Amino acid sequence: MSIVAAIVSGVLAVALIYAVTLYNGLVQLKHNVAKAWANIDVLLKQRHDELPKLVEVCKQYKQFEQATLGQVIAARNQVHAARASQDVAALGRAEGELRGGLGRLFAVAEAYPELRANESFMQLQGRISQLENGISDRREFYNDAVNINNIRVEQFPESVVAGLFRFGELPLLEFLSAEKTDVDVKALFG
């Protein structure tokens, strides 16, 4: 074997090893995003299961605002549909609606001292608040994983390998602008 052939073979071997390393890194990123999404999905499912219990406790108080309960139920169904279809954009919108509805529900509950004294209501409110915090944390992890993925699939030379194997950018889980603004406490109690 000539020296030129050995050098060409060595360069090709190094290039192949480098390409495989890049490919494996992109696969790992893809699975990190999937894992982050699955973590969000678990918490969304848990919250989805808790909300009907909260609504039922509130329904026990006949004069409790039915419109508020209806909004929470409708938003819950939108979140479920977006989650099932893995539509990140729709999930962001539906989450904003649900969080707003829950905020109104908890604000309206303040006008019902007997409801606030109900042990089941207080436990469910605490559990849902805990799940909301967990979902917020997992959203951050998901968006971090997506951001790393999106940077890597655009950087050279990863972009070449990403293009060859159809790794692409993924959508961030974004929120409604209303969810990012300060809460109008007066409107909640008005």
CATH number at residue 170: 1.20.1440.20
Q: Tell me 117's DSSP state.
A: T
Mean pLDDT of 175-184: 52
Task: Give the span between the Cα atoms of 128 and 140, in whole angstroms.
Answer: 19
Q: Work out the pLDDT band at 10, boundaries 50, 70, 90.
A: very high
Which one of 6-20, 60-74, 100-114 scores highest in mean pLDDT?
A: 6-20
Residue 37 near residue 86 (C-beta atoms within 8 A): yes
> Regarding predicted confidence, which is higher, 181 or 20?
20
Identify the pLDDT of residue 173. 85
Q: Work out the pLDDT band at 166, boundaries 50, 70, 90.
A: very high
Task: Give the span between the Cα atoms of 114 and 64, in whole angstroms.
Answer: 11
Domain span at residue 76?
3-189
Cα 21 to the center of its chain, rounded Å: 29
Identify the pLDDT of residue 185. 44
Q: Work out the pLDDT band at 188, boundaries 50, 70, 90.
A: very low
Q: Tell me 51's DSSP state.
A: H
Please count the structural domains in the chain: 1
What digits encode the pLDDT tens for the residues 102-124? 888 888 888 888 877 788 888 88
Residue 188 near residue 107 (C-beta atoms within 8 A): yes
Identify the pLDDT of residue 31. 95
Angle between helices 66-85 and 3-59 (to 10 degrees): 160
Q: Work out the pLDDT band at 61, boundaries 50, 70, 90.
A: confident
Task: Give the span between the Cα atoms of 159 and 155, in whole angstroms.
Answer: 5
Is 0.85 surpassed by the pTM of this model? no
Mean pLDDT of 31-48: 92
Measured between alpha carbons, how far is residue 107 from residues 25, 51, 73, 101 in Å? 47, 16, 16, 10
| C-alpha dihedral sign at 31, 32, 36, 37 | negative
Identify the pLDDT of residue 67. 83
Six-digit token pair at 23? 């490919």
- Among residues of the chain, what percentage have pLDDT more than 90? 35
Q: Work out the pLDDT band at 20, boundaries 50, 70, 90.
A: very high
